[in-house]
Every structure is written in C-alpha cells, then in structure tokens.
C-alpha cells in the first residue's frame, strides 16, 4: 500500500510537469544552517551594493517556517526560459530571461494553479507561492531539493539542462517525501570566472553583486561607476556571460512557453536602433517584459554608458 506522503508527492510532481515546469524537487522546511554564515559574510563585505533589501528579514530569508506558519515542505520548481532565437549580433544585449513576458506573472499563475490543485486533491493545505519576490533563498532550496548544484558563478546548474531557467517555490504545511542533494559537477572548470567582464566572481562560488553587470544595469539607480566604462560587453539589461560560457549550457534546449517568446522587433533591432529608441518603441517592445524594471530612462542611461 502506498502511504499518503508518497502519493501526495507523486501527485504534486506530476501536476508540476503538466503545468510545464522543467522539474520539481522537495525539501523539509527548516533553518538553512550552511547558508547563514555565508549570507552574513556576503552582506558584511557590502557585496549587495545598494540592494539594501538583501539586509532585511535576515531570519525569514534563512527559515521558511517564519514566512509560512507551520510550514513543513518547500516545493522547488524550475521553468525553462532558453530562447530558440537570439537578438541580432549587432545589438546592445538584454538577458535572455527578459525576452518575453515578465516571468513573475507567468510563474505566479502556474504556482497558484499548482496550489489550488493541491488543495482540491489533498484537502486543506495552506501555503504561499514565491517567485524571487520575497526573502527566500531560491537557489539554496533548489539545490537542497536535488534540482542541481550551485555553480562557481553562484547560479543553479543541472547536468541535463544547464542553468537557463527560473526558480520558484511553494512553501506549504504538508509533510511530503524529500529529495536528496546532488553533487557538484563544476570540477576544475573556471570558464565563468575567467569570462566575467567586470571580474565580479571574486572567488569560486562568490559573486560580488556590487560589481555585476546585472546590478549596474538593473538595480543601480545612480550613474554607473566610470571605472567600468568599456567593460560592460554591450549589455544594456542584465548579463548572461557567466551562463553563456558554462559548458553545461550546451545542453540547453529551447523553452515551450509562448509567453516567453520575444516581441518580433526585439530580435531585429541594431545598436543604431537602440541609440535612437523612443519611449513609444520601449513601451511596445517591452510591454509586459521585466525590462520595464529599469524604466525607459534607465535603459537610455545604460545605452549612453555603452556608447
């Protein structure tokens, strides 16, 4: 006879697959002991730059039971965003994750569907859905749930599919079967460290957020420090360099989520088009995109810095 724990675990995983998630792993909710000193050290070295929010809710960030009362399980999910087509080689670049509709909306809807499914099939289960919008250490939970390992570039890596995917979680008050951690397969490779244009990967597994191109082009509200002029590798929103050079990403396969498909104009635009971009074009091409986070003025600032 299959016990309920096993039955519920299989139910959740098969529904996650049906909803289009790449994979689903589950961990016991509790305090992330190994992560606590790492996060503290990272913050003490001001590697969060002006991302002050990283200093907030330190306890909640490390313990999901403080976020969701009586939580028992963290259900981690991956959603592929690797595109079938890339921007023109003659363009200023944006991260692949921002090509289509803002992932927050796409994933939130899928997570809500999964939570409703759990409640319909299993009964009164309470929980919350998270898509990098609350103090949850997504990558740590995904690694703990056996979905991959944290690479030297501090992103989650999976042997079969690389790292071009979003991570999200459901934290629920239901006991389930828990997955085991997978091993690290970075070996002696230092491709990501060697390729980083701003040398933001200060040592294996440590990224100085305050030197990262993604930070400069998205999070930083002031002017980009002049010392990084000429080192931005034409990135105007985000940066994929450390993922692009990673050998595991040769296994990346295009996503099958229509909402992640880019606006057709995005793939055609050249540097000249971007230099002359208007508010109208920005609003049209990035109507529902994560690029809106940097606003038109922010994107113009980034483009000016790259010229």
Reported confidence tier of residue 2, pLDDT bands at 50, 70, 90: low
pLDDT tens per residue across span 196-209:
999 999 999 999 99
- pLDDT, residue 39, reads 86
- pLDDT, residue 51, reads 82
Of the CA atoms within 13 Å of residue 70, those in its CB half-sphere come to 6
pLDDT tens per residue across span 53-77:
787 778 888 999 999 999 999 999 9
Reported confidence tier of residue 49, pLDDT bands at 50, 70, 90: confident
Query: What contacts 24+ positions apart, CB below 8 Å, involve 263-272?
Result: 263/287, 263/289, 266/87, 266/94, 266/99, 267/85, 267/86, 267/87, 267/88, 268/88, 269/87, 269/88, 269/91, 270/88, 270/90, 270/91, 271/90, 271/91, 271/92, 271/234
pLDDT tens per residue across span 228-253:
999 999 999 999 999 999 999 999 99
Q: Which residues, at least 6 apart from 214, have a Cβ–Cβ distance to it below 8 Å?
A: 95, 238, 239
DSSP state letters, the chain:
---HHHHHHHHHHHHHHHTT-SEEEEEE----TTHHHHHHHHHHTTTTTT-GGGGTTHHHHH-GGGTSTT--EEEEEEEE---SS---TTS-EE-GGGSSS-HHHHHHHHHHHHHHHHHHHH-S--EEEESSSSS--HHHHHHHTTS-EE-TTSSEEBTTTBT-EEEEEEEES-----PPPPPP--TT--HHHHH-TT--EEETTEE-GGG-HHIIIII--SPPPGGGTT-STTEEE---HHHHT-GGGGG------GGGSPPHHHHH--HHHHHT--HHHHHHHTTTSGGGGGHHHHHHHHHHHH-
Domain boundaries, the chain: 4-172, 191-251+262-306
Known binding-site positions for tRNA: 221
Query: Is 132 designated active site?
Result: yes
Phi, psi of 34, deg, nearest 5: -65, -30
List 132, 173, 175, 234, catalytic entry: 132
92 near 234, Cβ under 8 Å?
yes
Query: Residue for token digits 């790259």?
Result: 306
Known binding-site positions: 61, 132, 156, 167, 186, 189, 192, 196, 212, 214, 221, 239-240, 242, 246
Average per-residue pLDDT in the chain?
A: 94
Average pLDDT over residues 272-293: 94
pTM of the full structure: 0.94
Reported confidence tier of residue 47, pLDDT bands at 50, 70, 90: confident
Determine the topology of domain 4-172 in CATH. NADH Oxidase (3.40.109)
| 269 compared with 39, residue with greater pLDDT | 269
CA distance 226 to 151: 30
Known binding-site positions for cob(II)alamin: 61, 132, 156, 167, 214, 239-240
By percentage, how much of the chain surpasses pLDDT 70?
A: 99
């Amino acid at each position: 006879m299959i016990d309920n724990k096993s039955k519920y675990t299989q139910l959740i995983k098969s529904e996650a697959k049906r909803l289009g998630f790449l994979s689903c792993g589950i961990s016991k909710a509790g305090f992330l002991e190994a992560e606590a000193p790492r996060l503290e050290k990272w913050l003490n070295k001001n590697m969060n730059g002006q991302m002050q929010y990283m200093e907030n809710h330190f306890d909640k960030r490390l313990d999901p039971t403080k976020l969701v009362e009586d939580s028992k399980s963290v259900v981690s999910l991956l959603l592929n965003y690797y595109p079938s087509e890339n921007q023109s080689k003659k363009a200023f670049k944006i991260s692949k994750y921002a090509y289509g509709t803002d992932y927050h909306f796409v994933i939130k809807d899928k997570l809500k569907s999964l939570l409703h499914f759990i409640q319909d099939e299993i009964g009164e289960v309470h929980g919350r859905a998270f898509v990098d919008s609350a103090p949850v250490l997504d990558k740590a939970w995904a690694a703990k749930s056996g979905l991959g390992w944290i690479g030297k570039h501090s992103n989650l890596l999976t042997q079969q599919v690389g790292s071009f995917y979003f991570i999200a979680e459901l934290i629920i008050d239901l006991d389930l079967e828990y997955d085991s951690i997978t091993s690290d397969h970075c070996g002696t490779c230092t491709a990501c460290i060697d390729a980083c244009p701003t040398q933001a990967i200060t040592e294996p597994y440590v990224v100085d957020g305050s030197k990262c191109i993604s930070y400069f082009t998205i999070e930083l509200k002031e002017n980009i420090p002049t010392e990084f002029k000429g080192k931005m590798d034409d990135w105007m929103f985000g940066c994929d360099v450390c993922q692009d050079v990673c050998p595991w990403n040769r296994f990346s396969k295009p996503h099958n989520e229509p909402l992640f498909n880019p606006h057709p104009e995005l793939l055609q635009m050249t540097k000249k088009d971007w230099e002359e971009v208007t508010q109208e074009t920005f609003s049209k091409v990035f109507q529902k995109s994560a690029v809106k986070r940097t606003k038109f003025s922010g994107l113009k600032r980034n483009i000016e810095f790259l010229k």
